[in-house]
Amino acid sequence: MNTQIAFAESRVSQLLKCQYPILLAGMGGVARSELVAAVSNAGGFGFLGMVRESPALISQEISSVREKTERPFGVNLIPAATDQDLLEAEIAACMEEKVFSVGLFWDLSDALVRRLVDHGILVVCQVGSVSEAVAAQEAGAALIVAQGVEAGGHVRGQLKALELIQEVSRNVDVPIVAAGGISTGKHIFDAFTAGAEGTMIGTAFIATEESFAHPYHKQRIVDADSDATILTTDFHINWPRDAKVRVLRNSVTNGDHGDPNTRPLKVIGNEEGRPIYLFSTDSPLRSMSGDFEAMALYAGVGSRLVRDIKPAAQVVHSLAVEFAEASSKSVPVNDDFENEPVELASSPCYAADFDAPSI
């Protein structure tokens, strides 16, 4: 039980050299330089979502983050959803830019993890099962992100986040970061109680001013109720077959567009000349136009508690304060954001009092 560990003292904060072990998920399209810099500047740790992006864009985005912050950040890649030549070029760009950390997801490539580690890069692997967590640790991952089924976007495993964290923590020694459905500091506290030492958050950061998601997607998350999300394989173009995604229910998940595997492909949008197809894994971005309602509106179950579009720093700050309230700890708040440390009025709550909620 780790509930007495303050954020700043967690192994995750120490390894990632950040103030709070709050990681921005490397959401493809959404987590661009503006959001990554905002999260890292607020004391968290941002990952650029660079799946299938060109090496030129990766280098440009890395430079853009470095212009906005001196704090560390990482780059997220998804080998299984990327053509092999492009992946090699992406990896070369990350090595050339001497990125601090690379985050990987989906099929684990031991060889790739080892190559990155040999280049002095801190590797973070997101997993959906205990066996994957053990394999990632053996390959050299410094941190394991345990992703529960509550997560928005592609979902790897079948267990809920708290169950997976408990299982993984019995089997690996490296620090575990909780992902999936986390949108409050109380959720983070619950994850710490289960054995995590940090959190990786996607959905709550979509609804921020700095995210590259289209305003339509941000507003749909703000409007989501507790029954809003569904796990589906309907959005599949660009990814390995049968990969599940958690999205907001829409005309596609309602079946209004027929069989997702029919041909020919139908164009429903455009991103600077690139066609966006019905049933593709592209989510609505600022740079797109088209039928947003029919696109993949990724969202985790925690969307029901995201009620406003805020600056990302406010999201990081609120999570830290809520964690402190939940654990009755005093968390020193990032100087750039506020000068006063957070003092808590509430009485201490101990691990034994913990009543694991479904997050």
Ligand X SMILES: Cc1cc2nc3c(=O)[nH]c(=O)nc-3n(C[C@H](O)[C@H](O)[C@H](O)COP(=O)(O)O)c2cc1C
- Contact residues: ligand X, CB under 6 A: 25-28, 30, 49, 51, 76, 78, 103, 105, 126, 147, 150-154, 179-182, 200-203, 206, 283, 298, 300, 302
Of 26 and 344, which CB lies nearer to ligand X in the complex structure? Answer: 26
Give least dist CB 150 to ligand X, A. 6
Give least dist CB 142 to ligand X, A. 16
Give least dist CB 347 to ligand X, A. 30
Give least dist CB 343 to ligand X, A. 28
Give least dist CB 27 to ligand X, A. 3
Of 274 and 346, which CB lies nearer to ligand X in the complex structure? Answer: 274
Q: Measured between alpha carbons, how far is 27 from 312 in angstroms, rounded to an integer?
A: 14
Q: Which residue, among 22, 135, 28, 115, has the nearest Cα to 71 in the 3D structure? A: 22
Give least dist CB 2 to ligand X, A. 20
Burial string for 223-241 (b: 16+ CB within 10 Å, else e) reads: ebeeebbbebebbbebbee
Q: Measured between alpha carbons, how far is 289 from 295 in angstroms, rounded to an integer?
A: 11
Q: Which two tokens stand for residue 152?
A: 């928005």
Of 78 and 278, which CB lies nearer to ligand X in the complex structure? Answer: 78
CB distance 278 to 252 below 8 Å = yes
Of 126 and 137, which CB lies nearer to ligand X in the complex structure? Answer: 126
DSSP H helical segments within 97-181, as ranges? 110-118, 130-139, 161-169
For the beta carbon of residue 163, count every other beta carbon within 10 angstroms: 16
3-state secondary structure of 90: helix
Of 41 and 126, which CB lies nearer to ligand X in the complex structure? Answer: 126
Question: What count of Cα atoms within 13 Å lies in the side-chain half-sphere of residue 269?
Answer: 23
Q: Which residue, among 314, 342, 323, 347, has the nearest Cα to 5 in the 3D structure? A: 323
Give least dist CB 246 to ligand X, A. 8
Give least dist CB 212 to ligand X, A. 10
Beta pairing partners, 104? 77, 125
DSSP per residue, 176-230 = EEEESS--SHHHHHHHHHHT-SEEEESHHHHTBTT--B-HHHHHHHHT--TT-EE
Residue labelled with tokens 């995201």: 306
Of 36 and 200, which CB lies nearer to ligand X in the complex structure? Answer: 200
Of 37 and 247, which CB lies nearer to ligand X in the complex structure? Answer: 247
Residue labelled with tokens 């607020």: 42
Give least dist CB 77 to ligand X, A. 8
Of 236 and 347, which CB lies nearer to ligand X in the complex structure? Answer: 236
Beta pairing partners, 289? 270
Of 4 and 60, which CB lies nearer to ligand X in the complex structure? Answer: 60
Residue labelled with tokens 């090595």: 95
